[in-house]
Amino acid sequence: MHAVGLRGRLGDGRHLDVRRASALGMLAHPQRALDLAAGTDPEASTPTALKGFRGTLYLHVSLAGLATTTGGGRVERLGTASIALLRDWLQRLSGVSIRPVLDPTRTDAVDAHDPPAWMRELVILRDRHCVFPGCTVDARAGDLDHLQPYVPLDDGGPPGQTSPASLACLCRRHHRAKTFAGWRYRRLPDDATDQPGPTYEWTSPHLSTYRVTTHPAG
């Protein structure tokens, strides 16, 4: 657990099981989690600053939430956050940088094999984990896979082969299963599934089929 490691680096010398229990409680409270990431943990025996620590908080908000002063959003992996809480964080933390808004409905395509940074981030936030049946490996620890093999333009491939709709998140193990072990998959049309996220249909080497629906962060 990442929070357990941070507590140790902050000087918490208690037994590992005690730190784990404390970390679970901390993760249920967004403000305490943010304090830990900032290097100020009130529970550590000898709290010190985490020099050079850098992290990214993903805030998911709607246009309606931005239009009101009572709105807020959800901080990925931490929980809900009101406008007042977000304002407090920004006032108390130093070195904060705000990145441009990422539009989850963006559908631009590019000709290159590798997606640009915005597209990679969008697909990761959409799929959240490897889309192989039953796999829960975080999307950030895996690869972005082309559902259809990419053909270089110099070899006659069509333009626009790389887009959010043509990519999916796979961990290294299941990327190899798809490439070398006979597993196949496809993305079903969105209007055919009535699901909040994309649905992938997998076919095993023995022709058994499985469906996986992702639930985008939001």
Query: What stretch of H or E contains 97?
Result: none
Please report the pLDDT score of residue 79 as a whole number.
75
What would the pLDDT profile of 121-175 be if each residue is shown by its tens digit?
999 988 989 999 999 999 999 999 999 999 999 999 999 999 999 999 999 999 9
Helix (H, G, I), strand (E, B) or coil at 1: coil
Range in 127-131, 188-192, 197-201 the model is least confident about: 188-192
Q: What is the mean pLDDT of residues 79-86?
A: 76
Whether pTM exceeds 0.85: no
Residue 111 pLDDT level (bands cut at 50, 70, 90): very high
Q: Are 216 and 128 in contact (CB under 8 A)?
A: yes
Beta strands in the chain (DSSP E): 59-60, 72-75, 79-82, 143-146, 167-170, 184-187, 199-203, 209-213
Read off the pLDDT of residues 34-65 as tens digits, 9 standing for 90 and up.
Answer: 555 544 444 444 334 434 556 677 777 766 66
* CA 176 – CA 94 distance, rounded (Å): 42
| d(C-alpha 126, C-alpha 81), whole Å | 21
Output the average pLDDT for the chain: 75
Residue-level pLDDT at 186? 95
Strands (E), 93-207: 143-146, 167-170, 184-187, 199-203
Residue % of the chain over a pLDDT of 70: 61
Q: Would you state the pLDDT for residue 75?
A: 76
The whole-number pLDDT of residue 26 equals 46
